[in-house]
Amino acid sequence: MAEGRGKRRLQAPAAGARCRRTCGEASVLPGYAGRVLVVTRYRVDGDDQAAFRADGLAALEVLTARPGCTGGHLGRAVDEPELWTLTTTWQSVGAYRRALSDHQVKLVAVPLMYRAIDESTAFEQLATWTPERGLAEHEAALAQDADSVPRVER
């Protein structure tokens, strides 16, 4: 993103939003409403790995218990074992933000998230693949004025 540009805000597409399958046919993807992928990455020293895994599992448990969460993963890089990720998927950006307001999430997951690498974490899903539906591309759900919002400097 160019310097001085705003953070992009997500807005859910209208009910019955259309997706384009890779075969070129336009069709409605049932249940699609601006899904969001949240990826937080962590650098964890070797002597802290066991404690981090326990904290990550606890965070995953409270996050995936919240309404609107559609899945989650705790993982570690195969080639770089000090690099970990906590990844969740959500029905919408609003569902994710509401989950962060939950008391249990604030007690268990948010302290872990403070340890995350400082980078963007929420992404709109532009293409998805499932065994049932195959590959589907989705229309962007960014607000029309997404580039006009002032950027927050880190």
Q: Domain spans of the chain?
A: 33-141
Tokens of residue 25, six digits = 């046919």
Task: Check: pTM over 0.85? Answer yes or no.
Answer: no
pLDDT of residue 79: 97
Averages of pLDDT over each 10 residues, the chain, 154 residues: 38 40 39 77 96 98 97 97 97 93 97 96 89 86 69 64
Report yes or no: 21 and 78 within 8 Å, Cβ to Cβ.
Answer: no
Question: With respect to CATH, is domain 33-141 assigned 3.30.70.100?
Answer: yes
pLDDT of residue 7: 38
pLDDT of residue 154: 60
pLDDT of residue 10: 37
The beta-carbon contacts of 102-105 under 8 Å, at least 24 apart in sequence, are 102/62, 102/66, 104/62, 104/65, 105/62, 105/63, 105/66
pLDDT of residue 148: 72
